[in-house]
């Protein structure tokens, strides 16, 4: 296994380029050169809850003057919640994610956005390209939940995910003028 550190916005991000990744590592199929040339950089966020770390790895596309929600990301169609590889959520404990019960492990997330709510899908398959999200991918869903959309007063240029301490912990997604808060409730 070869692990490199990709420097993004002044932060070192561990990225595993080949071989078996340690649990919770951000993995990619791209070479270091290809990864550096992507218009949507790989990023991650993490939060320690009761001594254990939740981690999310995702690609960060930018709006670049495009209409995002209802445009580049069509309403009513599955979206990988980022760019390139699927967005991955690593949980060190059993939890409910948007109301979906999951055991400790790593899952991919995708959403079906609508103007006023998003359907959040928790999926078992993490080692795939982010698209297409077809019947074969959907068959691996652990479950789905629906969450409301908030309207931001100012647009956010680059897709931004953050983890906020709770209870419940929230995975906050912001892009363009949309914000959603995906609840993550530790089970037990």
From first to last of its 188 residues, the chain has per-residue pLDDT tens of: 333 434 343 344 444 443 444 454 577 777 778 777 788 888 999 999 999 999 999 999 999 999 999 999 999 999 999 998 899 999 999 999 999 999 999 999 999 999 999 999 999 998 877 778 999 999 999 999 999 999 999 999 999 999 999 889 999 999 999 999 999 999 97
Within a domain: 17: no
Number of domains, the chain: 1
Within a domain: 101: yes
Residue pair 23/104 in contact (Cβ under 8 Å)? The answer is no
The C-alpha atoms of residue 97 and residue 170 are separated, in whole angstroms, by 9
Q: For residue 69, what are the domain limits?
A: 40-186
Nearest to 55 by CA among 89, 22, 104: 89
């Amino acid at each position: 296994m070869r692990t490199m550190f990709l420097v993004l916005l002044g932060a070192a991000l561990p990225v595993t380029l080949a071989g078996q990744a340690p649990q919770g590592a951000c993995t990619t199929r791209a070479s270091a050169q290809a990864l550096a040339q992507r218009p949507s950089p790989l990023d991650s966020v993490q939060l320690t809850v009761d001594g254990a770390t939740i981690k999310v790895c995702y690609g960060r596309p930018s709006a670049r003057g495009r209409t995002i929600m209802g445009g580049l990301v069509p309403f009513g169609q599955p979206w990988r919640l980022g760019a390139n590889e699927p967005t991955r959520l690593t949980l060190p404990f059993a939890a409910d994610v948007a109301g979906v019960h999951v055991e400790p492990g790593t899952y991919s997330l995708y959403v079906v956005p609508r103007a006023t709510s998003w359907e959040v899908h928790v999926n078992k398959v993490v080692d795939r390209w982010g698209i297409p999200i077809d019947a074969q991918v959907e068959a691996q869903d652990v479950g789905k939940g629906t969450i409301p959309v908030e309207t931001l007063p100012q647009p956010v240029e680059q897709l931004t995910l953050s983890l906020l301490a709770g209870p419940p912990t929230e995975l906050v997604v912001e892009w363009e003028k949309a914000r959603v808060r995906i609840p993550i409730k530790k089970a037990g």
